[in-house]
Amino acid sequence: MIVLPPLDTLRDIFGQTRAIAVVGLSPKMERPSNRVARYLVRAGFRVIPVNPGHDRLLGLRCYPRLAEVPVPVDLVDIFRGREHVLPIVEEAVAIGARAVWMQEGIVNEEAARLARAHGLAVVMDRCLMTDHQAWLTTVSR
């Protein structure tokens, strides 16, 4: 059985999210970041790749950092080690994102406190794809 984050949090995140910046998106199809991003595209979200080593990923324009994304970002999905999370969250706050999602295995309490202090929803150590699928099942009942 999957234990979801609070349904209010998921409702707020998924109900208001259209554009998702995937920070640390890998070009390798077998990597979790690539699988999750492809799922998000299929689920109807606007995916914005963020990875300084690439110009395009998944056929989409890729940006070196969040601050260079020219469109509003609702959710920042983080696929970077915990030691890289705080600067990413600082950029998420600066660009006006509404939420940050730290993928499975990623926990950074300092970054989470900063995000929450600026009104961002925070999910840590969870897979966005898995939780979105489970949430869809929950709300369709």
The predicted structure's pLDDT at residue 138: 79
State residue 40 phi and psi, 5-degree precision. Answer: -60, -40
Look at the chain and count its residues: 141
48 alpha-carbon distance from chain centroid: 10
Question: What is the helix, strand, coil percentage profile of the chain, to 5?
Answer: 40, 20, 40
| Structural domains in the chain plus CATH codes | 7-136 (3.40.50.720)
The predicted structure's pLDDT at residue 9: 83
The predicted structure's pLDDT at residue 2: 47
| Rounded Cα–Cα distance for residues 92 and 100 (Å) | 7
Give the pLDDT of the chain (141 residues) as one tens digit per residue. Answer: 445 577 778 888 998 999 999 999 999 999 999 999 999 999 999 999 999 999 999 999 999 999 999 999 999 999 999 999 999 999 999 999 999 999 999 999 999 999 999 999 999 999 999 999 988 887 766
Phi-psi region of 68 (alpha: psi -120 to 50; beta: other; left: phi over 0): alpha
The predicted structure's pLDDT at residue 140: 67
CA neighbours within 13 Å on the CB side: how many for 34? 10
**Could you tell me which residues come within 8 angstroms of residue 44 by beta carbon, excluding any fewer than 6 positions away?**
none
The residue written with tokens 């080690």 in the block is: 81
